[in-house]
Structure 1
Amino acid sequence: MKKDKAWDAIIIGGSYAGLSAAMSLGRSLRRTLIIDDEQPCNRQTPHSHNFLTQDGRTPKEIATLAQSQVMSYPDVSRLQGSVVRAKKYTEGFSVETADGQIFETKKLILAGGIQDLLPSIPGLAACWGITAIHCPYCHGYEFRTKETAILADGDRAFHLAGMVRNLTANLTLITSPKHFNEVQLAQLKRNQISILDVDITAIQHDAGKMSSLELSNGDIQAVDALYVAAPFVQRDDIYQQLGCALTENGYIKVDGFQKTSTDGVYACGDNSSMMRSVATAVYTGNLTGAMVNRELVEEEFNREVI
């Protein structure tokens, strides 16, 4: 195993949140190492939206430009790989990569994102991020007025129905009516949103662009887009190894400064925010980098001279 000298900060995850944190730290002259496995959750998404100056560009284009700008700061380094172990010590942390490299750092930033647990419906994975979508703000405008379905239950389905109904009147909920109360059912009916109490058995698509849903009752439902309220898990267990708490919804618990419940560990991006967008990831990463630098400054500036 190869052991490297200590860094000021190590960032696990090098997509938008991690790169944004690294820029804050690089501009503060902090020796920063980004470790990234190059598997962003939006790698299939054709275009990114709702982010000023970058609207309509591909996620890859935005990430490539961001990486080139961040890596222009000489105190920032990047390593392709994945972290499999992390330990906390009195004066900092150590992390070990899958290929056996060990790095030591004063502060640790978790920016690895989350992993969606998609239903095992044939065709869904191929459409994910293209026409099988999760967020009306990120994708809804492109499917305005289109034939749209929502695969979700209960309050989540009702919330999505209201959001998506604002964009298209051609809307169907695929769920059981028993998941709604009488008031909700009346509101769905008033807004002419139909409910299909069936299962999706397969999705017909061409390179991720869906055309129809095959249903368990034998029917074919024509659709252009399907919103899916999929559950998720954290992409790795590093937060658990470090003792970081989760919220009741499964996100890493952070305070207003992106600090986790473990001293010296911060989190940013999708792993700690239900607002899942490039803009939010960049914001939380920027704040995280600034707060890590502030903590380092306070520790160094206030250090007692013996």
Structure 2
Amino acid sequence: MEKRTEFDVIIIGGSYAGLSAAMALGRSLRNVLVLDSGKPCNRQTPHSHNFLTQDGETPAAIAQKAQEQVLAYPTVTFLAEEALTATGQNQDFQVTTASGATFHASKLIFAAGIKDLMPNLEGFTSCWGISVLHCPYCHGYEVRNQEWGIMANGDMAFELVKLLQNWTPTLTVFTNGPSTLTPEQREVLQRKKVLLNEGEITALVHDQGYVQQIALKDGSSHTVKAIFARPAFEQHCPLPEELGCELTETGHLKVDGFQKTTVPGIFAAGDATTMMRSVAVAVAAGLVAGAMVNKELIEERF
């Protein structure tokens, strides 16, 4: 039997947002192709939280169950392939994959997330998502009331202090060099009993991704059980920008309340579009994107 190459919608990114969009469209009897490169940003994270009915489950298990449920709909096709190129315009897009296959669709949904850019610091990558964390809502409860480090400087460090102090009274800001905090911000940290360390960091000492100490260039080390950091990132998939989709000042894909990008016929959902990096938020956004794409198809074809 010849494989289908024409679809109503192609979804690039087959994790939580992409699968949620695919389910909404599959249940709307739309022919959908989901392309996924198999590199989710949370692949090292041992547990997912703040998602009702799935609290504490592994991200991989949630994704596997989601994929099984979505593929129960015969109008949804899943391919474990990376999308390399995308061209065209609303109602006539073409996507080529790493294997050289070309597919056509009326609409595109990008749900490929973002790629965290790890600093050149020994131990950081191994600990990322395990004990070097980005979100207290996702992981703070499990390490509550323990020694936390914040790897940041200036306004970012100050904002993280405000955010995190509710989970633990033991916070140390590691600026990894001279502090750029204002005198007023430093005074607040002193008043809140938040320690400030301006030493240069040489390594994160850990056991299988669970940080134990922060080692400094002066030979000292400091015990921590969790580190919160906000490394730089880039879009995991460059295709939306190549198609003309605008980014926000934070580097996320710019979408409206219906998950529409700035290019007609292209929608986006998930971590690529928001600072709220959680499974629950991605699933919700994917549902909106799928429903709104279906509505556009109805309006165009009725």
Q: Give the TM-score, by structure 1 length.
A: 0.95
Q: Deviations over 1:52-79 (max 9, x none)?
A: 1110000011111111111111100100
- Could you tell me which residue of structure 2 aligns to residue 208 of structure 1? 209
Deviation at 1:276, TM superposition (A): 0.7
**What is the percent sequence identity of the aligned residues?**
50
- Counterpart for residue 111 of structure 2: 111
Equivalence for 1:295: 296
Q: Which runs of 4+ in 1 moved over 2 A?
A: 2-5
Code of the aligned partner of 1:180:
L
Q: Which amino acid aligns with 1:29?
A: L
Q: Which whole-Å CA distance do the structure 2 matches of 1:201 and 1:85 have between them? A: 40
- Counterpart position of 2:139: 139
Does the CA contact (< 8 Å) of 2:90 and 2:266 recur in 1? no
Contact in 2 for aligned 1:4/1:102 (Cα 8 Å): no
Q: Which moved more, 1:146-155 or 1:257-266?
A: 146-155
Is the CA contact 1:259–1:265 (under 8 Å) kept in the aligned structure 2? yes
Task: Please list, as runs of the form range in 1=range in 2, the aligned pairs for 1:94-243 lying within 5 A after superposition.
Answer: 94-175=94-175, 178-243=179-244
**For residue 48 of structure 1, what is the aligned residue in structure 2?**
48
Instruction: State the Cα distance separating 1:90 from its structure 2 match.
Output: 5.9
Which secondary structure does the structure 1 equivalent of 2:6 belong to? strand
Counterpart residue identity of residue 54, structure 1? Q
- 105-114 or 144-153, which moves further after superposition? 144-153
Return the alpha-carbon distance in structure 1 between the equivalents of residues 226 and 179 of structure 2: 24
The runs of 5 or more residues in structure 1 that have no matched partner are 302-306
CA distance in 1, matches of 2:98, 2:153: 38
Q: How far apart, in 1, do the equivalents of 2:3 and 2:154 lie? A: 50
Aligned to 1:304: none
Q: Is the 8 A contact 2:90 2:106 kept in 1?
A: no
TM-score by length of 2: 0.97
1:34 corresponds to: 34
Measure, in 2, the Cα distance between the counterparts of 1:90 and 1:152: 42
The question of whether the paired residues in 2 share the 8 Å contact of 1:92 and 1:264 is answered with no
Q: Is the 8 A contact 2:12 2:109 kept in 1?
A: yes
> Are the counterparts in 1 of residues 84 and 97 from structure 2 also a CA contact under 8 Å?
yes
**Residue correspondences, number:** 300
| Cα root mean square deviation, aligned | 1.4
The answer for the alignment partner of 2:266 in structure 1 is 265
Amino acid paired to 1:273: T
